[in-house]
Structure 1
Amino acid sequence: MRQTAEWMTPSDDRILELLREYGNLTPRAVEDFGGPSMGHAQDRLPLLTKYGLVTRLSRGLYAISDDGLAYLDEELDASTLESVDDE
């Protein structure tokens, strides 16, 4: 069973699964591939990036990180992740 963090929502798992399946995606592509709405994905992707589960490749383009893959594979407890401020 995946170990989520308090800041996570159920849609975060779906976003991460889509990134693993399809590769680099925009929020619009997340919606197009059956994930949450573009607006919701736009809100969630920066937060997933902040905690290291996703990497921002360029403006509006995201990829799953090694930690994101480990989380999906139940090898990482997301509650142990710390916020990274790279701005």
Structure 2
Amino acid sequence: MDDSTTDDPAESSDAADGPETGTDDSETSADASVSETETETEAETDAEWMEPADKPILEFLQSEDAFEPNQIDDEGIAPAKYAAYRCREMTKRGLLTKHMPGVYEVSELGERYLEGTLDPSELEADK
């Protein structure tokens, strides 16, 4: 009967409780990180085609006497080449007007977007 003490149900339930508790903690951590990632993604852009730098670029071009991607770089918003690319993309969607190569201005649609009266996900790219 001494052999029966090694099969004590209390010992086996303690061992079973340990890993289950660890599993619950890791599942909670995984759920929390997924929620944080989803929240970050939603907060980054207002449309699938947009990049996080687009709104700051538009706000800068609207508020300053700035028209060139180099000025966006000087302000520390985005590197000039990336800013130029994003300006071209926003021009295709109508948020910016291109006056000449490298010179942009916020369009009427861009103004409406910044005011919150335009959903950029509805804008289609010019072909």
Question: Which band: TM-score by shorter chain?
Answer: 0.7 to 0.9
Matched, 1:11 2:53: yes
After superposition, the C-alpha distances for 1:48-69 in whole angstroms (9 at most, x for unaligned) are 0000000101011000001001
Number of paired residues? 84
- State the shift of 1:81 in Å: 0.6
Structure 1: gaps spanning 5 or more residues = none
- State the shift of 1:39 in Å: 1.5
Residues 1:74 and 1:56: Cα distance change in structure 2 (over 3 Å): same
Instruction: List 4+ stretches of structure 1 deviating above 4 A.
Output: none
Q: TM-score, normalising length from structure 2?
A: 0.62
Matched, 1:35 2:77: yes
Answer yes or no: is the 8 Å Cα contact 1:23–1:64 preserved in 2. Answer: no
Q: TM-score, normalising length from structure 1?
A: 0.88
Structure 2: gaps spanning 5 or more residues = 1-44
Answer yes or no: is the 8 Å Cα contact 2:60–2:66 preserved in 1. Answer: no
Secondary structure in structure 1 of the residue aligned to 2:87: helix
Secondary structure in structure 1 of the residue aligned to 2:88: helix
Calculate the aligned-residue CA RMSD, in Å. Answer: 1.6
- State the shift of 1:24 in Å: 4.4
Secondary structure in structure 2 of the residue aligned to 1:49: helix
- Which structure features the higher share of helix residues? 2
CA distance in 2, matches of 1:67, 1:23: 19
The one-letter code matched in structure 2 to 1:59 is P
The structure showing larger relative contact order (alpha-carbon pairs under 8 Å, at least 6 residues apart) is 1
